[in-house]
Structure 1
Amino acid sequence: MNWIIRSTKTVKYHTNLKEILKPIWENLGDYHWIITDIDFMSDTELPINFNADYFFLTHAEFERIFQSNAQIIWGIISAVPQDSAIDFGKVSTLSAENICVWECNEFQIHQSIVEITAFDSGYTIVKFKDQKLSEKFKDYFQNQALDLQAFNDK
C-alpha cells in the first residue's frame, strides 16, 4: 500500500495534489490535513506560506490547495482523523528528506491514513493505511504508480 510516481502522463508535474488525490478525494472529507517541510509554487493565495514550520488545516482549507494548481516541490502532506492527538513539536521537525520516506509502511506522522511525500519535484511517494483507498489509487494510476518496495529493490 506504498506507491511512488516518478514519471507519468496523468500528472502534469510533481506534486500536483489535485491530480494525485483525484481518485480518492471523495473519500477524504472527514479528515484534517497536516502539511510540513513545505516548498511550493502557486499563482494563487493559499492557506500555506513560508512563515511557519507546519500547517494544520481543515478539509475546507485544504480543499483550496487541492483545487489550485500549486506545485508542491518538497513536503509531507498527511490526512489525519479529526480527533487525532498530534505532537506538533515533532511535526515541525519532520523532513521530506528523512530516509524513512523511502521505507514501506513508515509514516512520519503516525496518525496518517494517507501520507504524501513530495521529493524534489521528481518523485511523489504515497502511503496508505486503508487498503480500499490504496486500491482506488493504484487502479487510477495503473502502471504509473510503482510499488515502493519494488522501486527500492531495483
Structure 2
Amino acid sequence: MNWIIRSTKKVKFHTNLQEVLKSIWDNLAVYRWILTDLDFISDQLLPINFDEDFFVLDSPGFEKLYHSNTQIIWGIISAIPYNIEPDASLISKLSAEDSIVWEPDHFLIQESIIEIIAFDSGYTIVKFKDKHLSDKFKEYFHEQAIDLQKFNEKYINRK
C-alpha cells in the first residue's frame, strides 16, 4: 500500500494534489491535513505560505489547496483523523529529504492514514494505511503507480 509515481501522463506536474488525490477525494473529508517541509509554486492565495514551518488544515482549508493549481515541489502531506492532536515539536523537524521516506510502511507521522511525499518535482510517494483507498489509487494510476518496495529494489537498493 506504498506507491511511487515517477513518469506519468495522468498528472500535469508533480505533485498536483487535484490529480494525485482525484480517485480518492470523496473519501477524504473526514481527515485533517498536516503539511510540512514545503516548497511550492502557486499563483493563488492559499491557506499555506512560507512563513510557518508547518500547517494543520481542516477539510475546507485543504479543499481550497486541492482545488488550486499548486505545484508542491517538496513536502510532506499527511491525512490524520480529526481527533488526533499533532505534536508540533516533532512535525516541524520532519524532512522530505530524509532517507526514511523511501521505506515502505514507514510513516513520518505515525497517526497518518495517508502520507504523501513530494520529492523535487519528479517523484510523488503515496503511502496508505487504508487498503480500500490504496486500491482505488492504484486502480486509477494503473502501472504508473509503482510499488515502492519494487522501485527501491530496482533503483535505490542496487548493489
What TM-score does the superposition give when structure 1 sets the normalisation length?
Answer: 0.99
Structure-1 residue corresponding to 2:130: 130
What is the RMSD of the two structures over their aligned residues, measured on CA atoms?
0.4
SS at match of 2:117: strand
> Displaced runs of 4+ in structure 1, greater than 6 A?
none
Q: What letter corresponds to residue 127 of structure 1 in structure 2? A: K
Structure 2 distance, partners of 1:87, 1:78, is 13
Structure-2 residue corresponding to 1:60: 60
Structure-1 residue corresponding to 2:4: 4
SS at match of 2:49: coil
Tell me if 1:139 matches 2:136: no
Structure 2 distance, partners of 1:62, 1:131, is 22
Q: What letter corresponds to residue 94 of structure 2 in structure 1? A: L
Tell me if 1:110 matches 2:106: no
Tell me if 1:91 matches 2:85: no
Q: CA deviation at 1:88?
A: 1.0
Q: CA deviation at 1:85?
A: 2.8
Q: CA deviation at 1:71?
A: 0.0
Q: What letter corresponds to residue 26 of structure 2 in structure 1? A: E
Q: CA deviation at 1:140?
A: 0.3
Tell me if 1:34 matches 2:37: no
Structure 2 distance, partners of 1:54, 1:117, is 14
Q: CA deviation at 1:112?
A: 0.4
What TM-score does the superposition give when structure 2 sets the normalisation length?
Answer: 0.96
Structure 1 distance, partners of 2:127, 2:78, is 10
SS at match of 2:134: helix
Instruction: Note the residue ranges of structure 1 that are not aligned, 5 or more in a row.
Output: none
Structure 1 distance, partners of 2:2, 2:108, is 14
Tell me if 1:75 matches 2:75: yes
User: Aligned residues, how many?
Assistant: 154
Q: What letter corresponds to residue 114 of structure 1 in structure 2? A: I
